[in-house]
Amino acid sequence: MKLVVLERNSAGTDVDVSCFEKFGEVTYYPNTTAENAAERVKEADIIISNKTPLNEKTLQEAANVKLICLLATGYDNVDLPYCESRGIKVANVVNYCTPAVAQHTLLLAMMLSEKITYYDEYVKSGAYGAQDRFSHFDEVFHDLEGKTWGIVGMGSIGHKVASLATAFGCRVIFYSASGRSTCTEYERVEFPVLLKESDILSLHCPLSDRTRNLINRDAFGQMKKTAILINVARGPVVNTQDLYEALMENKIMAAGLDVLEKEPIEPSNPLSRIKDSTKLIITPHMSWASIESRTRLVGEVVKNIEAFLAGKERNIVRS
């Protein structure tokens, strides 16, 4: 059997992926684009990928492919109806990075809430050493306790963030973009209520027709001017231009992003013009990528392949 790993580096070169070799002959590529994907997958029985587009154009000559294993939870890069028409199974990995993304969410919220970058720079610039009093707190910051933490997407990551926020004394509310949430542990509200009442709003939802541009100019207009937005979901859930304007016009206080509409960030992205890290922090889509998460990720793909070869369905996604 032939396996092709299209984006070997997406798991990190510090994580061993030789475990795939027990299933057959493996070809590794550090990275793959839409332009060279078709050539690389045409002999494969199993494709292991992350973000490479897998659709009719890239798969039409791959006559032998039976299984696509994603090194990710999201599968919006895969044309599921086309794969189903071909009998190709698609398996993702779930819950492997919940602790990492949840802690990153808290980190961004706390750094922005306490304006940590300002205070760190104040010390390092020498200003603190030059002053004549023991403390400096000229930039106002707030307790998390007593604040309302709003969540979009109450899956495993949303649940983990909710439990951490609760531990800090926050009231947690959430909005179900799909309308199918069965969560009863936290207060479910309609979207306008979520926007109006959230002091911190964190996004943990998949990208879909319901969530694309969910946070836009209209949404920012309904949020508190003191609100902090955290997006660790998918970039297009937030409208980039509208976020830029909201930050520049002080419609909200700050934003922390680990995802962008186009990645890596492009020079034309207006958010790249904001250098004030008390207003905006952007990390390079790494919240999921602790060494523990990436090790679990590879192990879960192995289990998906083992299940498939045993005639069992494990983490199979459908349109």
- Mind telling me the catalytic residues? 234, 263, 285
Count of residues in the chain: 319
Strands 46-49 and 25-28: unpaired
Name the strands in the sheet holding 67-70, side by side, starting at the edge strand that comes first in the sequence: 25-28, 2-5, 46-49, 67-70, 89-91
| Residue corresponding to tokens 């890290």 | 277
CA distance 177 to 112: 26
3-state secondary structure 162-211: HHHHHHCCCEEEEECCCCCCCCCCCEECCHHHHHHHCCEEEECCCCCCCC
CA distance 224 to 141: 15
